[in-house]
């Protein structure tokens, strides 16, 4: 080849300049194939090395002429196959040919290393080459491959989002957010989109509920995915860890960042997978907090933990921390006057209780009693979340026995809690005579639940609250049918039950419906009109 007669001393610029732009594109594809081929050679060599027997053959090897290592012989064959050396001359320009659009690089490029590899391969394949020339060519090949790997896997600056994804709302004085990336876009009443953290921080007095801009958020996530910028990056996690150890302002900012990361990962790379120790930092955050620990800070920490439970990978890591159940119980004890905090604690328990290890630890830490006490709080959200968490803890016999020991069913009836999950709980838990008597006393509420659920959703499944209420109503009719006198719309109830078709509910429930209708018709016949 012209301009490439010398060995490894050929300037990289002349080697790179001899490749046209069209060939450079082909070289990029070939280099990727070289990486795969050489990787396969390395794996084959390792497999062969497991069965090879090393013997002392220094005397025979000393007399043999120097030859390239076996690895480079395999690499040479792979590179020759991919680059197509020996298949015919390819069109190349002169050594000093440079296009006007080419910009000087800071160092060797992939095309430069490709030219080095091509030259070294031709030199090693030259049968007339001396041993020292072949060894020099092997050294050039070694240098090119090392440089190529460093160039391929080196750290690069993270790509920046286009300007259309950046918020236009600047901060008052220092302009910190003027070019900030919009991580969690929401839509205001005006129709404009803004980052939610900016809205919450600088306009907290406005009692509005912005709508999440899912379309813009998905566009940002897709752009990051296309540009290999999957959140969270190592730098982001490191910044969060450092900020959590900083002053109070930095710690608050770190909580905001964790919330953004937990909502923006889309399940591609949850942040706890990137840094599992983050939950340990959150659990012990109060000990390292450098300002007064307020209810607002506790709310932020609980919100962050709740957001982390969105993805199953995060939930598996969260459930593995033995300190978390005790920490949640301590938070619930101190936040007894904060319904919002209690509701979030119950939501976290409900989300993590799908995993056996967390469920057993939560029961061992007294979680059932904690949730039972939440049922007594006069707040509909707290009661609903607590009932859902108790139902999740009752996934096995151990949880059911714990709920029975804590008299969860009696508490539900005494506190008039008739949510969907509470009805499922009442039907699921073992019921003694005292609980059955209380259920009979609530016959009016059960009838309302049956008719209300059927009105809202005519199609009933085995998990519908109306089906559960029918099962409880069947228990009332079987135990004390006289309690049905309290129902004022008894004829309407029988009419509703007759209209239910067998295709809309489980067979067992249908048999219970027929038994209820038959018993009510016998005991309370329809009045003559």
Any domain includes 423:
no
Rounded-to-integer distance, Cα 41 and Cα 152, Å: 19
Any domain includes 39:
yes
Check residue 249 and give its pLDDT: 80
Any domain includes 218:
no
Beta-carbon count within 10 A of 388 CB = 23
Q: What is the largest CA-CA distance in the chain?
A: 121
Rounded-to-integer distance, Cα 385 and Cα 348, Å: 10
Rounded-to-integer distance, Cα 343 and Cα 379, Å: 9
Rounded-to-integer distance, Cα 222 and Cα 216, Å: 10
SS3 64: coil
- Dihedral in degrees, nearest 10, Cα atoms 25, 29, 31, 37: -160
Check residue 328 and give its pLDDT: 94
Rounded-to-integer distance, Cα 305 and Cα 294, Å: 17
CA nearest neighbour of 138 among 200, 66, 195: 66
- 105-143 burial: b if 16+ Cβ within 10 Å, else e: eeebbbbbbbbbbbbbbbbbeeeebeeeebebbbebbbb
Query: In the chain, how many domains are there?
Result: 2
Burial class (CB in 10 A: 0-12, 13-18, 19+), 272: buried
Burial class (CB in 10 A: 0-12, 13-18, 19+), 454: buried
Specify the DSSP element, H or E, that contains 212.
strand 211-212
Return all residues near 341 (Cβ < 8 A) that are at least 6 apart.
295, 298, 299, 302, 331, 332, 335
520 contacts 513 by C-beta, under 8 angstroms: no
455 contacts 486 by C-beta, under 8 angstroms: no
Please give the residue range of the domain that contains residue 508.
431-529
SS3 13: helix
Measure Cα distances from 371 to 164, 333, 352, 360 in Å.
47, 11, 14, 15
Please identify, among 153, 182, 217, the residue that sits at the C-terminal boundary of a domain. 153
* E strand segments, 222-328: none
Specify the DSSP element, H or E, that contains 195.
strand 193-195
Rounded-to-integer distance, Cα 346 and Cα 344, Å: 5
263 contacts 184 by C-beta, under 8 angstroms: yes
Any domain includes 459:
yes
Vertex 146, ends 141 and 151: CA angle to 5°? 125
Check residue 355 and give its pLDDT: 92
pTM of the predicted model over 0.75: no
Any domain includes 301:
no
Q: What is the pLDDT along the chain (529 residues), one digit of tens a residue?
A: 434 433 334 333 333 343 344 444 455 566 666 666 666 665 665 555 544 444 444 444 444 444 444 545 555 555 555 454 444 444 444 334 444 344 444 567 777 787 888 888 877 777 666 777 777 888 888 888 887 777 665 555 555 556 555 554 444 444 444 444 566 777 777 677 777 766 666 666 655 566 777 777 777 766 665 655 555 566 677 777 788 777 778 888 887 777 777 665 554 456 677 677 888 888 888 888 877 888 888 888 898 888 888 878 888 888 989 999 999 999 998 887 789 999 999 999 999 999 999 999 999 999 999 999 999 998 888 998 999 999 999 999 999 999 999 999 888 888 877 777 888 888 888 888 888 888 888 888 888 877 765 444 444 444 555 667 788 888 888 888 888 888 887 888 888 888 765 556 778 888 888 888 888 888 888 775 5
Rounded-to-integer distance, Cα 467 and Cα 433, Å: 22
Any domain includes 278:
no
Check residue 204 and give its pLDDT: 62
Q: Report the Cα–Cα distance between both ends of the chain, in Å, rounded.
A: 112
Check residue 317 and give its pLDDT: 87
Any domain includes 480:
yes
How far does CA 275 lie from the centroid of its chain? 12
Q: At what angle do helices 248-264 and 234-244 cross, to 10 degrees?
A: 150
Any domain includes 337:
no
Specify the DSSP element, H or E, that contains 211.
strand 211-212
The dihedral built from the CA positions of residue 234, 235, 241 and 242, taken in this order, carries a sign that is positive
Check residue 448 and give its pLDDT: 80
DSSP string, 190-245: TS-EEEHHHHHHH-TT----PEE-HHHHHHHHHHHHHTT-PSSPHHHHHHHHHHHT
Measure Cα distances from 312 to 113, 218, 374 in Å.
44, 20, 26
């Amino acid at each position: 080849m012209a301009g490439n007669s010398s060995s490894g001393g050929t300037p990289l610029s002349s080697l790179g300049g001899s490749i046209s732009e069209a060939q450079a594109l082909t070289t990029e594809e070939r280099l990727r194939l070289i990486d795969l081929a050489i990787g396969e050679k390395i794996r084959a060599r390792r497999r062969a090395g497991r069965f090879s027997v090393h013997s002392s053959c220094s005397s025979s090897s000393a007399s043999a002429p120097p030859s390239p290592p076996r690895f480079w012989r395999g690499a040479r064959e792979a590179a020759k196959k991919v680059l197509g050396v020996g298949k015919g001359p390819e069109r190349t320009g002169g050594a000093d040919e440079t296009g006007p659009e080419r910009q000087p690089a800071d160092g060797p490029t992939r095309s430069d290393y490709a030219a080095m590899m091509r030259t070294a391969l031709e030199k090693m394949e030259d049968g007339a080459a001396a041993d020292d020339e072949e060894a020099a060519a092997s050294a050039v090949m070694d240098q090119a491959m090392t440089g190529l790997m460093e160039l391929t896997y080196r750290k690069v600056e993270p790509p920046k989002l286009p300007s259309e994804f950046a918020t236009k709302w600047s901060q008052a004085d220092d302009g910190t957010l003027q070019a900030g990336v919009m991580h969690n876009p929401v839509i205001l009443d005006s129709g404009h989109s803004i980052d939610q953290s900016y809205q919450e921080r600088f306009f907290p007095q406005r009692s509005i509920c912005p709508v999440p801009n899912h379309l813009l958020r998905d566009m940002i996530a897709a752009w990051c995915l296309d540009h290999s910028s999957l959140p969270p990056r190592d730098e982001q996690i490191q910044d969060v860890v450092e900020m959590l150890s900083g002053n109070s302002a930095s710690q608050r900012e770190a909580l905001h960042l964790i919330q953004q990361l937990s909502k923006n990962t889309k399940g591609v790379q949850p942040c706890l997978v990137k840094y599992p120790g983050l939950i340990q930092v959150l659990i012990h955050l109060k000990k390292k907090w450098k300002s007064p620990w307020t209810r607002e800070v506790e709310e932020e920490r609980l919100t962050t933990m709740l957001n982390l439970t969105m993805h199953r990978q995060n939930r598996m890591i969260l459930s593995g921390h033995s300190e978390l159940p005790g920490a949640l119980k301590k938070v619930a004890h101190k936040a007894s006057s904060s319904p919002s905090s209690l509701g979030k604690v119950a939501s976290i328990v409900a989300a993590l209780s799908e995993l056996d290890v967390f469920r057993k630890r939560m029961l061992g830490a007294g979680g059932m009693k904690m949730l039972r006490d939440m049922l007594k709080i006069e707040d509909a959200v707290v009661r609903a979340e607590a009932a859902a968490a108790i139902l999740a803890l009752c996934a096995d016999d151990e949880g059911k026995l714990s709920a029975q020991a804590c008299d969860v069913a009696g508490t539900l009836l005494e506190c008039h809690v008739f949510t969907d999950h509470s009805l499922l709980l009442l039907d699921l838990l073992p019921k003694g005579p005292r609980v059955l008597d209380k259920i009979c006393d609530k016959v009016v509420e059960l009838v309302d639940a049956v008719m209300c659920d059927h009105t809202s959703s005519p199609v009933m499944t085995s998990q519908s609250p109306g089906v559960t209420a029918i099962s409880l109503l069947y228990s009332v009719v079987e135990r004390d049918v006289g309690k049905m006198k309290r129902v004022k719309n008894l004829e309407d109830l029988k009419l509703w039950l007759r209209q239910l078709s067998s295709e809309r509910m489980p067979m067992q429930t249908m048999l219970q419906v027929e038994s209820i209708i038959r018993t009510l018709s016998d005991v309370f016949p329809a009045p003559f009109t």
